[in-house]
Amino acid sequence: MQNTDPVWSLVEAHRAEFEAFSDRVWDMPELGFQETRSAAEHVAMLENLGFRVTSGIAGLPTAMVGEAGDEGPVIAILGEFDALPGLSNEAGIAEHRPTGGAGHACGHNLLGAASMLAAVAVKDWLAANGIKGRVRYYGCPAEENGAGKLFMVREGAFSDVDIALSWHPAPFAAVNPVNSLANVQVDFTFHGRASHAAAAPHLGRSALDAVELMNVGVNYMREHMPSDARIHYATLDAGGVAPNVVQARAKVRYVIRAKTLPELHPLIARVKKIAEGAALMTETRVEAQTLSGMSNLLGNVPLEQSLQASLERLGPPEWDDADRQFANEIRATLRPDDIDGAFLRFGLPPVRDVPLADRIIPLGSKGTGGIGSTDVGDVSWVVPTAQIRGATYAIGTPGHSWQLTAQGKSGIAHKGMVHAAKVLASTAVEALSNPAMIEAAKADHAARVAAHPYVCPVDANVPPPLAMALGQ
What's the average model confidence in pLDDT over 258-277? 95
The CATH architecture of the domain made up of 6-180+297-449 is: 3-Layer(aba) Sandwich (3.40)
Task: Sort strands 285-294 and 182-191 into parallel, antiparallel or unpaired.
Answer: antiparallel
The share of the chain scoring above pLDDT 70, in percent, equals 97
**CA gap 126, 134 in Å, rounded:** 8
**CA gap 246, 198 in Å, rounded:** 9
The DSSP result for 163-197, as a single string, is EEEEEEEESSBEEPPS-PPEEEEEEEEEE-B--BT
- Average confidence score pLDDT of the chain: 95
Interior/surface letters 143-153, b for 16+ CB within 10 angstroms, e for the rest: bbbbbbbbbbb
**CA gap 411, 339 in Å, rounded:** 20
pLDDT, residue 159, reads 96
What's the average model confidence in pLDDT over 239-261? 95
What's the average model confidence in pLDDT over 274-293? 96
What's the average model confidence in pLDDT over 408-431? 98
pLDDT, residue 369, reads 66
The DSSP result for 349-409, as a single string, is ---TT--S--SBPPTT----S-----THHHHHHHS-EEEEEEE-S-TTPPSSSHHHHHTTT
pTM of the model: 0.92
- Over the stretch 205-243, which tens digit does the pLDDT of each residue have? 999 999 999 999 999 999 999 998 999 999 999 999 999
What's the average model confidence in pLDDT over 162-184? 95
Rg of the Cα atoms in the chain? 23
List the domain boundaries for the chain: 6-180+297-449, 182-293
- As a CATH number, domain 182-293 is 3.30.70.360
- Over the stretch 344-381, which tens digit does the pLDDT of each residue have? 999 999 998 999 999 999 999 988 766 788 999 999 99
- Over the stretch 9-38, which tens digit does the pLDDT of each residue have? 999 999 999 999 999 999 999 999 999 999
pLDDT, residue 429, reads 97
DSSP SS3 for 155: coil
Instruction: Return the number of other C-beta atoms located less than 10 Å from residue 452's C-beta.
Output: 12
**CA gap 343, 397 in Å, rounded:** 11
What are the strands of the beta sheet with 230-237, ordered from one edge?
230-237, 249-258, 182-191, 285-294
What's the average model confidence in pLDDT over 283-295? 94
pLDDT over 50 (residue 470): no
Position 469 confidence tier, pLDDT thresholds 50, 70, 90: very low
pLDDT over 90 (residue 471): no
pLDDT, residue 468, reads 41
Position 277 confidence tier, pLDDT thresholds 50, 70, 90: very high
